[in-house]
Homo-oligomer: A and B are copies of this chain.
Amino acid sequence: MRDAFHEELDAISETLVEMTRLVGSAMARATTALLDADLTLAESVIDADDQVDDLQHSLDDSSFDLLARQQPVAGDLRTIITSLRMSADLERMGDLARHVAKVARRRYPQSAIPPEIRGTIVEMGDIAAELVAKVGSIIAARDVEAALALEAEDDEMDRLHRSLFKSLMDDKWKHGIETAVDVTLCGRYYERYADHAVSVAKRLVFLVTGEHPTPAS
């Protein structure tokens, strides 16, 4: 049986997994809202972000409390400090989903996404969803191997991001500046979302092994 202290550490890990679920659902719904110009859905994403912020605050409070009461060292200390950072990444992923939803809301009743790049945005949304689902399993299972493999999927997001810019710069672009601005911002939001997902996975590697997966991580 786990002692009370380790049960509290488990609770922190469960909160992180719950945050991956919320920010995953937020980005999936934001993507649909963006593609379908669905105002109600966009607003529900914008409103729901408070839940993620609340989870982060409660995780921060319990971590601080655990540090003060239990004065953990070595691996347990590393777990708490690293969890604080993971929650900051996840909170930011929630913000980025909200930003995508805000673009959808700003352009309603039009869709911000012209037909030629719908496919790219669909793929970016799919990869975002896949990344964050994997991050949830990685945290739950403390799966270092899967965490290390995650970076390859971020490469796929970078490829899509470059392809988005290529479409924008194409001489055949007929959608004007406003749409170009929205597409630029959305591309950046998806790319940052994926970066943070990879960052959470890297932190899990550090949490478990005490080693940073790459020098610059």
Chain A residues 19 to 77 lying within 8 A of chain B, measured CB to CB, are 53, 64, 67-68, 71, 73-74, 77
Number of copies of this protein chain within its complex: 2
Residues of B contacting A184 in the complex (Cβ-Cβ under 8 angstroms): 180-181, 184-185
Instruction: Pick the residue among B68, B84, B173, B181 that contacts A74 (CB under 8 A).
Output: B68
Residues of B contacting A180 in the complex (Cβ-Cβ under 8 angstroms): 177, 180-181, 184
Residue A107 at the chain B interface, CB threshold 8 Å: no
Residue A178 at the chain B interface, CB threshold 8 Å: yes
Count residues of chain A with CB under 8 A from any CB of chain B: 25
Can you give 16 contacting A-B residue pairs, CB < 8 Å?
A53-B216, A64-B77, A64-B78, A67-B77, A67-B81, A71-B73, A81-B81, A84-B84, A84-B85, A165-B181, A168-B178, A177-B177, A177-B180, A184-B184, A185-B188, A188-B188
